[in-house]
Amino acid sequence: MYDIIVIGAGISGISFAQKMAPYAKIILIDENEEIPIKTNIFPEHNRPYLDVVSMDDSTIFPRDHIKTLYLGKEESGVINSEEFGDPLGKIVYTDKLLKHLINDFKEKGGKVKFNEMVKRVNRSSEKVEVHTTIGETYSGKVLILATGSRGFEIQKALGFDIPDSYLGIYTHLYGSEAQIDENFDFDYMFHINPNISKNGPFFFNVGEERVLTGYLGNSDESESEIVDKLDRILNNYPYIQSNVTNLKWDRAEFITGRISKHPIDRFSHDRVLVLGEAAGLVTAFFYEGLLSGLVSADAAVRTLRPLFEQGSSFPSSELSAYDKEIKRILLNKYYNNGDACEYVFYDNSPSAIKKIWETYIDLVNDNQKLRRQIWEAYRMYDVENYDTSRDKWAGEKLFEKLPTLSKISLGPKFLKALMKF
């Protein structure tokens, strides 16, 4: 009998298992054969949630995130941290980060099972029982669901809601370090074009010898359509051709999958907690999910440690402390920004999306106060104290800068968005 069974070896499940390992007997199960390669942006505000990994380890964090580019068709917006001081954060080789955390988990006595898919969970008043596709059964006192956007059936069967999820696609581009330096004068690019996706960005996350690219947020295209579209973008989209010159990619390695957002209402039921993306804990505009994975893992550890010490039977009434922490740290303030931006930028007609994006780029370039606010948001260590009045101010400035005709048509929308703060 384990104390805790964790399903899902992503940032949420692994960072939870690694932090909780000194206090409980844990098994971590994942259907993947191994951890997939990923290159992500890792804002400075994630730092407080790492304990056994240093953000100065360049094998895991290959470069500083100094410059963000908001790509536009005529002009692009630039946030350059050098204008204000330290970098916005790091670029992370997420697979290497996760492997490091798994090794630490194992050193602390944790057990890991890859290549095993959980197909069913039984819960009684005494325990949870997890059945896998290779015929194994594991019993535990508590279950952690950290299944991202791939475990919705189990989630539903245990009484949880499931978040909204959208189709996304990504792949790595490979080249020499020198070629990548030549092609990119930024570390992260974010681009909105409703012809690519109506509900998410096209992006580049730039590592040393590999670059992650793709787009998120599709709801009305099939997998084969988004594969064809990414291929067309990489081969023909004029605004990024200088970035992909002499880099290699393989269409057969394009990865499609769902990505969730819009947090569900409850994150705990008897003996079960749901963490990270499975709970819809991804910001609705930028699709930032690593912070929420780390925060939810940390909050789950802080909830469970005293309960194990007290010999709890883990009823939802005691586990609900976890829900309160997620709301306090992430949802009460930090997530408002994504909700309002999503409402203004994505949930709109294609021509309005284009106009708002162009105007936002102008605003970023013209307004140093806004650039500083963005820099500070990347770097603040206490996201629970995120100042939403700044977003309100930015929204008002954006509205002021719109052409008169757009002001008339978009006025009600902006008003509603600003009321979210």
Ligand X SMILES: Cc1cc2nc3c(=O)[nH]c(=O)nc-3n(C[C@H](O)[C@H](O)[C@H](O)COP(=O)(O)OP(=O)(O)OC[C@H]3O[C@@H](n4cnc5c(N)ncnc54)[C@H](O)[C@@H]3O)c2cc1C
Could you list the residues that contact ligand X (CB under 6 A)?
7-13, 29-32, 40-41, 117-118, 146-148, 150-151, 154, 168, 170, 205, 214, 216, 259, 276-278, 282, 287-291, 293
CB of 38 to ligand X, least distance (A): 7
Give the nearer residue to ligand X in terms of CB position, either 87 or 276: 276
120 closest CA partner among 107, 131, 135: 131
259 closest CA partner among 284, 292, 232: 284
371 closest CA partner among 381, 380, 361: 361
Give the nearer residue to ligand X in terms of CB position, either 290 or 363: 290
CB of 260 to ligand X, least distance (A): 8
Contacts of 395 (CB under 8 A, 6+ apart): 340, 344, 414, 417, 418, 421
Give the nearer residue to ligand X in terms of CB position, either 7 or 244: 7
CB of 214 to ligand X, least distance (A): 5
CB of 132 to ligand X, least distance (A): 7
Give the nearer residue to ligand X in terms of CB position, either 26 or 118: 118
Contact in structure between 153 and 214 (CB atoms under 8 Å): no
CB of 105 to ligand X, least distance (A): 14
CB of 324 to ligand X, least distance (A): 20
Give the nearer residue to ligand X in terms of CB position, either 270 or 288: 288
Distance in angstroms (rounded) separating the CA atoms of residues 4 and 163: 24
Nearest residue to ligand X, using CB? 289
User: What 3-state class would DSSP assign to 396?
Assistant: helix
Give the nearer residue to ligand X in terms of CB position, either 291 or 304: 291
Residue 248 DSSP class: B
| Tally of CB atoms within 10 A around 310 | 9
| Tally of CB atoms within 10 A around 410 | 22
Sign of CA dihedral 362, 203, 327, 342: positive
Give the nearer residue to ligand X in terms of CB position, either 52 or 117: 117
Give the nearer residue to ligand X in terms of CB position, either 173 or 278: 278
CA angle 314, 317, 323 (to 5 degrees): 95
360 closest CA partner among 167, 78, 98, 111: 78
User: What 3-state class would DSSP assign to 200?
Assistant: coil
CB of 134 to ligand X, least distance (A): 11
Distance in angstroms (rounded) separating the CA atoms of residues 322 and 274: 10
First to last CA, the chain: 47
Distance in angstroms (rounded) separating the CA atoms of residues 91 and 43: 8
CB of 11 to ligand X, least distance (A): 4
Quick one: 263 exposed, middle or buried, by C-beta within 10 A (0-12, 13-18, 19+)? buried
| Tally of CB atoms within 10 A around 88 | 26
Give the nearer residue to ligand X in terms of CB position, either 205 or 359: 205
**Beta-ladder partners of 130:** 121, 138
Distance in angstroms (rounded) separating the CA atoms of residues 41 and 69: 13
CB of 405 to ligand X, least distance (A): 35
Give the nearer residue to ligand X in terms of CB position, either 11 or 230: 11
CB of 406 to ligand X, least distance (A): 30
Which residue is it, tokens 């499940």?
A: 13
Distance in angstroms (rounded) separating the CA atoms of residues 220 and 59: 39
CB of 211 to ligand X, least distance (A): 12
Give the nearer residue to ligand X in terms of CB position, either 280 or 355: 280
